[in-house]
Amino acid sequence: MNIHQFVQLIHTALPPETAMKGDRLGLQVQSGRTEISSILVTLEITEEVITEALHKGNDCIVTFHPLIFSPLISLQENDRVGRLCTSLIKHEIAVIAVHTNFDAFPTGTSAIIAEDLGLIIERVLVPDRTYNGSGIGVVARTILPISLQGLVTLIWEKCGSPVRYTTGNNKEINRIAIVGGSGTSFIDDAIESGADAFITADVKYHTFHRAKGEIALIDPGHYEMERYVPQGLASLIKQILPLGEDISVSVSTTITNPVQYCFS
């Protein structure tokens, strides 16, 4: 398939207009090759992911986190992004970024997290004014009321990382707002939604103070919240590919989280 046709398929399913302002989407790296036949879906691109793509024979990587975000003045080997871009071009591997337009997709990032926690999705937290059903975050409810400690334990079991949190104003949790990734700017929306808890990542110390007593604020970690996104994105790509198109789609098995934890 022609790579530009593939990008158009993605943008039809995930309109760039639904992405947050300033996001970097679409074709980010292309060599002389215009046809693709094997796609690797990853959370983000690292040298290890490129090595995996080479071993699998992938000629295209779809990444959730854009490789190029800030404008590049030059490509240099001693710069991380420059080094990765140079390697990708050398090995004729194209890169396509799909980011907050997948966050805004009805079954995108936050919905994947909610379903993994066994929650019932009620609505979008911040609806898109143009695209019905799209928007950032979800509001979901528990099947049965759960204590805050029970919810934190559940998140810890699912995410496998230390969970930072502060208490809200309810002893039981019935309704939960979720924004996958860095979503603290939506804390007021979470409070106004009537949620008892808000799950998001990259929460600063003073934001925990802001939430305490109003809404339980829970931060499982950025990577930990988005680790299942590539699987959901790969499933969508398989759905939108034309019937009979001979293109393989696989999910990266490389752990790209740069953060390590000390437990002793």
- 27 contacts 3 by C-beta, under 8 angstroms: yes
Summarize pLDDT for 29-54 with one digit per residue, the tens: 998 889 999 999 999 999 999 999 99
pLDDT in tens, 94-147: 999 999 999 999 999 999 999 999 999 999 999 998 898 899 999 999 999 999
How high is the pLDDT of residue 120?
98
Residue 80 corresponds to which tokens in the numbers above? Answer: 């991380």
pTM of the predicted structure, to 2 decimals: 0.94
Q: What DSSP designation does 170 have? A: -
Q: Are 126 and 110 in contact (CB under 8 A)?
A: no
What pLDDT, on a 0 to 100 scale, did the predictor assign at position 174?
97
Beta strands in the chain (DSSP E): 26-29, 38-42, 60-63, 94-97, 120-127, 135-147, 164-166, 172-182, 197-201, 216-219, 248-251
Q: Which residues pair with 251 in a beta bridge?
A: 41
Tell me which of 3.40.228.10, 3.40.50.300, 3.40.1390.30, 3.40.50.20 is the CATH number of domain 104-225: 3.40.1390.30
For residue 100, what pLDDT is reported? 97
Question: pLDDT at residue 71 above 90?
Answer: no
Q: In the structure encoding, which two tokens stand for residue 59, read together? A: 């000629």
User: According to the model, what pLDDT value does residue 126 have?
Assistant: 97
Domains 3-102 and 104-225 share a fold: yes
Contact 169, 213 (CB under 8 A): yes
Domain boundaries, the chain: 3-102, 104-225
Tell me how far apart the terminal alpha carbons of the chain are, to the nearest angstrom: 51
pLDDT, mean of residues 189-207: 98
Length of the chain as a residue count: 264
> CB-side exposure of 106: number of CA atoms within 13 Å?
6
- Per the DSSP assignment, residues forming a β-bridge with 244 are none
CATH number assigned to the domain with residue range 3-102, chosen from the 4 options 3.40.1390.30, 3.30.70.360, 2.60.40.10, 3.20.20.70:
3.40.1390.30
